[in-house]
Structure 1
Amino acid sequence: MGSRGVRAAAAQQAIEGVRELAGAGLTAEAVFRQADELLREVLEYDAVCWHTADPATGLVNSVLSDDLSLDSFEDAVRLEVWADDPATFPKIRRSGVRAEALSRATEGRPERAVRYREQIVPAGFGDELRAVFDAHGGMWGCAAFMRAADRGHFLGRQRELADTAARHLGNALRSCHLPPDGGAVDRTGGDAGPAVVVLGASNRLVGVSGPAEDLLARLADPSRTSLGLPTAFAMAAEQARRTACGLPVPQSKIRVQADDGRWYVLHASPLQGSAAGEVTVVAAAAGPADAMPLYLSAYGLTAREQEVALLLVRGCDTRDVSRLLAMKPYTVQDHLKSVFAKAGVASRRELIARIMLGGGH
């Protein structure tokens, strides 16, 4: 077998390994670490930065990297939100592909990108390959792979391989966001109410109130950063600053899941009367309107199946669903069978109980 055949065989083996991560019952951090072991050699990268994301908006809400210095992570957050660069995560997602190299997106002139000049080159890298991990309508995470400057740009075959791997990683991360044990979220500690955090202009912690210290610990990133607080809070603050400038944002809130399976929603707004660019971030347990669609998507339901399931939760019967969604009754039944199978339940009552448990109510 020639070198090309060896590479193809290694790539196929890596993809099979990534595909199997979806059924392994892993945490998101474990998915990333195992994916790194499988992909590093075949994608030929020298460093990687992994992120989970709010599946509804695609906004990054955590960071994991054993390769990169995160001593100036506030600069990375700023560039992620403000820099209108080629091959950003949102642009890749809108393009219809799952992976893109900065060198390819800039037609061989990566120096056109701010993050190339301010981050990639100073760190000793020559190219970046980004991938978004979409599955069933949600973006569950993303990653940036870096190559040393002396190794040249990422090749087309590596971009294609990353694109294939990204699809399976989307499914793996989606399965990570199911409620533990299919719906039994641990609530022994309860929620003490909204947590309030004040961040300075560089998104460093200025002050906290309410149960914020406990929540900051439970939402902490897998990797320590210069921010000293979870990435989700800094991203929420930067989105609020964009909104205050009249610039478009995906949404004014960010969702993030704690390791106990509960979803939290972060709302941010500039602090009135502050000349120092301070932002207040309020974090609270997600209510049904925010949490239930996320759990339904995590179960792998299609958009139509989610519509059916949500109507059931609201008390509709088959006839109501048929009328409201303009479906034949037997079509509704077919959707219900698929919903039950994907959620691992046998009845409407069990489905409603599982969704309501997962949503925190």
Structure 2
Amino acid sequence: MAAQQAIGGLRELAAAGLTAEKVFRRADELLRPLLEYDAVCWHSADPATGLVTSVLSDDLSLAGFEDAVRLEVWADDVATFPAIRRSGVRAETLSRATGGRPADSARFRELIGPAGFGDELRAVFDAHGGMWGCAAFMRAAGRGPYLAQQREFADLAARHLGNALRACHVPPATADGRWETEPGGPGDDGPAVVVLGPANRPLALSGPAEELLGRLADPSRTSLGVPTAFAVAAEHARRAARGLAAPQCKVRVQDGCGRWYVLHGSALKGGSEGEVTVVASPATPADAMPLYLSAYGLTAREQEVALLLVRGCDTRDVSRLLAMKPYTVQDHLKSVFAKAGVASRRELVARIMLAGGTA
């Protein structure tokens, strides 16, 4: 009964109009009694790549958070967030992933064990093709490992949290239906440039960087001195500079006003060892539109239809390009309009373009 009530509460979060921070805090209230964890670290993520972009924890000291970021990017570990996502499940425990030998995990040896925890449960919050966040739940060594039913419950809960976090990324509309994130707001002054040292602390800023760093700040204060998204972009740039696999040097992150930014990291040539430049720019239409369409909860096919409409295609064009019957296109359009809260193609295009700051 308690589990069913918790799932019902998580399901309601998608329609509550909450920020990601409030979703996490309400989820903590619902999940802690059932999963029986002693500490949790919540993260927002770049929905396109799954890279972590923020951190929230009221239980843990984040004084050495740079070590956690380094391990997340560099360590060839078990039950990482990307590995869980690839596995087809939404939740995994360190005890199960290591066959009861958590010390096989680098993050257990360096972070989890020394902090007094005995097991970790990780969950990824996927919805409609995007990973909108993730979390790590730690329990004290004396409690023993997580039970199988707790992992299964976390897997179910993660699906509803994915929907709730996806809904957080739909820009708020005003009473007259216009988006609040219109052009001319913060961030229109051009790229922000931040130079980070080896521990991902800022050495130099240029452009509107200081103001942007404030708007993208983590809910919890860390030892980094910059938002988590900047440190993640920097670590992937360092991997690339070493000639190691680093498929994602681009990180997308949304500010509190609903505006998306793209962060690019690159190692400095001729600078001190480990120094990296991170450039943050307002997202282009190509970067932002798929994110907004996914935030509306559109299916992959509905997103294809919507993108063609934005590009000026009519029903006949969409039918031909996607090899659909015209009535099938109309069915998809009805669903797109309902999910985006619009009544016409023109309103859909205007809403997407304004949300991306491209009108």
Q: CA deviation at 1:186?
A: 5.0
User: Across the two proteins, how many residue pairs are aligned to each other?
Assistant: 353
Normalized against structure 2, the TM-score is what? 0.97
1:305 aligns with 2:302: yes
* CA deviation after TM superposition for structure 1 residue 244, in Å: 1.7
Separation of aligned partners in 2, 1:112 and 1:149 = 16
AA in 2 matched with 1:189: G
**Matched residue SS, 1:145:** strand
Distance 1:221 1:208, change over 3 A: same
Pick one of 170, 174, 181 that aligns with 1:185. 181
2:316 counterpart SS class: helix
Partner of 1:169: 161
Instruction: Report the equivalent of 1:143.
Output: 135
SS at 1:197 equivalent: strand
- Tell me the residue number matched to 2:267: 270
For the pair 1:112 / 2:109, whether they are aligned, the reply is no
Q: CA deviation at 1:358?
A: 1.0
SS at match of 2:131: strand
| Distance in 2 (alpha carbons) for counterparts of 1:251 and 1:227 | 21
Q: What is the letter of the counterpart of residue 151 of structure 1?
A: R
> Per-residue deviation at 1:36?
0.2
Deviations 1:92-138 (A, max 9, x none): 00000000000000010110000000000111100000000000000
Structure 1 vs Structure 2 CA RMSD: 1.0
Once the two structures are TM-superposed, the CA of residue 245 in structure 1 deviates from its matched residue by 2.2
Structure 2 contact 182–354 (Cα < 8 Å) conserved: no
- Stretches of 4+ moved more than 3 A in 1? 186-190
Q: Does 1:124 align with 2:124?
A: no
| Cα pair 1:48 1:145 within 8 Å, conserved | yes
**Which of 283, 298, 317 is the aligned partner of 2:314?**
317
Aligned to 1:157, what secondary structure does the other structure show?
A: helix
Cα distance in 1 for partners of 2:280, 2:103 equals: 38
Is 1:195 equivalent to 2:192 in the alignment?
yes
Q: Aligned-pair distance for 1:241?
A: 1.1
Q: CA deviation at 1:187?
A: 4.6
1:102 paired to 2:62: no
Match of 2:232 in 1: 235
Alignment partner of 1:180: what SS?
coil
Match of residue 4 from structure 1:
none
Runs of 5+ consecutive residues of structure 2 not aligned to the other structure? none
Matched, 1:77 2:69: yes
Counterpart contact for 2:182–2:357, Cα < 8 Å: no
Where in structure 1 are there 5+ consecutive unaligned residues?
A: 1-8
Residues 236-245 or 91-100, more deviating: 236-245
AA of the residue aligned to 1:296: L
8 Å contact from structure 1 (residues 195, 215) kept in 2: yes
1:27 equivalent among 6, 19, 35:
19
TM-score w.r.t. the length of structure 1 is: 0.96
Question: Pick from 58, 62, 68: which aligns with 1:66?
Answer: 58
